[in-house]
Amino acid sequence: MTVRVLIVDDSATMRSLIAATLRQDPEIEVLGFANDPLEAREAIKRLNPDVITLDVEMPHMSGLDFLEKIMRLRPMPVVMVSTLTQAGADATLSAMELGAVDCVGKPGAGATAAEAFADLAEKVKAAARARVRPFAGPVVRTEENRTYRAQDVVVAIGSSTGGVEALMTILSAFPATCPPTVVTQHMPATFTRSFAERLDRVSGAKVAEAWDGARLLPGHVYLAPGGAAHLEVTGTTHPTCRLRVDEPVNGHRPSVDVLFESVARLKRPALGVILTGMGRDGAQGLLTLRQSGAHTLGQDEASCVVYGMPRAAHEIGAVEKQSPLARMSAAILGLCAATEPQRSA
């Protein structure tokens, strides 16, 4: 199947770079270009693309305003193309909350287009297969689990494409007494701090970027920083975060497999959760977790934006139970409540 793409960007240079990158993949056809959202609206009607690449900052209407209109009126797969700045990160995360499938960063200082757009074609093809839903409004904190009592269970969560929506949904229902939780989400380095701040605003738990030596505490969620290191958990009596600088695993740094395998070595009650995303990162690590005696959950196919990582984990027997996203928080907390007394007996 050929994926037909419309490129929307006000920079002629950037349009050319994106087109040149995508045309190297024989499974992608560049249908055309638009300079701004007004041109894009007409091009969408005329060309009916499978996927749009969309710049965040454009004249006449911002990419975010245009994306919101698309997701309300004609939901379709969108990959955001953003500057790797704090402002770009904030805008792109807003786009992901609105329903954009994924994002890539524009070439920054010292980076070539080939480096910046190395995975653009794969993200575009994954977007074409994604389940896109109409924008349902911003995620807000819920109080449904406020009576939950903290348990001595380490929760490890891995996610990729579609993970912004999934993690916002899950953590918005986490109470201040949640189990200590570590998260690896595939995301550019400049984005994870902003994402942690957003998660912190909607969650009853305290959410922050993980730092080396951070002690895992109930009521806290630790998000792996993007780009430079893998997040691991070490120790037994007092588990702590460790940021290990090493080569990418499964093409990712941080890697979900690395996180899961480190939690499996803790020899303490644990729960592994694998969420929406393309590829196989996390599947083998989740299997290692399950074989160590931990419970494991996988997001079900119907609620995934991309049923790649959970499928890979399910196919090798790593997933003990599947859950729809809407019930994932309750499933996590319920298993933790049931697991801790049983495993500590």
Catalytic residue set: 160, 186, 281
Name every residue whose Cβ is closer than 8 Å to that of residue 297 and which is 6 or more positions away in sequence. 271, 272, 273, 274, 319, 320, 321, 322, 323, 328, 331, 332, 335
In angstroms, rounded to a whole number, what is the distance separating the alpha carbons of residues 80 and 94?
A: 11
Distance of CA 140 to the CA centre of its chain: 18
**Closest to 334 measured CA to CA, from 139, 153, 141:** 153
Cβ neighbourhood burial of 107 (10 Å; 0-12, 13-18, 19+): middle
87, two tokens: 């402002």
Whole-angstrom Cα distance, residue 78 to residue 11?
18
Q: How far is the C-alpha of 166 from the C-alpha of 160, rounded, in Å?
A: 10
Contacts of 92 (CB under 8 A, 6+ apart): 56, 80, 82, 100, 103, 191
